[in-house]
Amino acid sequence: MGFDQETVDYVGVTRLQAWYADAVSRRAWAEFADIFDPAAVVVVDTGVGEPLRLAGPDGVSGFISGAIERFEFFQFVPLNTRVETSVGGDPDAAEGRLYICELRQDRENGHWTNAFGVYHDQYRREPRTNRWRFTHRRYQSLARTTGRAEVFAFPHHLAPGGLGAVTD
């Protein structure tokens, strides 16, 4: 693959990540139909209890909208990303890792909290629009403040120099 196509694909995937952050911050749930593949699976591991498994754009948006409803202010902030394109030699497949922070103010008591996490993603180029979509995401909480900070184990399955497999 030429450098130019790799650059175009990298920009396309990071545009998708930014679109997701923007849609969540604006609570624009209808946009998830364009962001997620209809068969997309999202696994959410908050560090407490068993991970949740969400299916499709409606399952993902329904969960997130309910989880952030209590916040008067909510902003999803991408911190850093790593993207690999042409995964397995497939020019329409990519995978990545996205580190994030959530800035939140509770509607009821006015307390400010932060949450930090990492997404392990798989993406696929949608042939009709030539845009990238999420096909699989696994979110893991890394830390959060709720008065006293809680810090969770870093996901050690991340291989040095690689993105690591995205598994449930």
Mean pLDDT of 13-17: 98
Q: Which H helix or E strand runs over 101?
A: strand 93-106
> Which H, E and C letters describe the chain, residue by residue?
CCHHHHHHHHHHHHHHHHHHHHHHHHCCHHHHHHHEEEEEEEEEECCCCCCEEEEHHHHHHHHHHHHHCCEEEEEEEEEEEEEEECHHHCCCEEEEEEEEEEEEEECCCCCEEEEEEEEEEEEEEECCCCEEEEEEEEEEEEEEEECEEEECCCCCCCCCCCCCCCCC
pLDDT at 168 over 90: no
CB atoms within 10 A of CB 106: 14
pLDDT of residue 46: 87
- pTM for the whole thing? 0.87
Architecture of the domain delimited by 3-151 = Roll (3.10)
Mean pLDDT of 132-147: 93
User: CA-to-CA distance for 145 and 33, rounded, in angstroms?
Assistant: 31
Banded pLDDT at 156 (limits 50, 70, 90): low
Q: What's the pLDDT tens digit per position in 47-60?
A: 888 999 999 999 99
Mean pLDDT of 132-140: 97
Q: What's the pLDDT tens digit per position in 90-108?
A: 999 999 999 999 999 999 9
Q: Which position has the higher pLDDT, 27 or 49?
A: 27
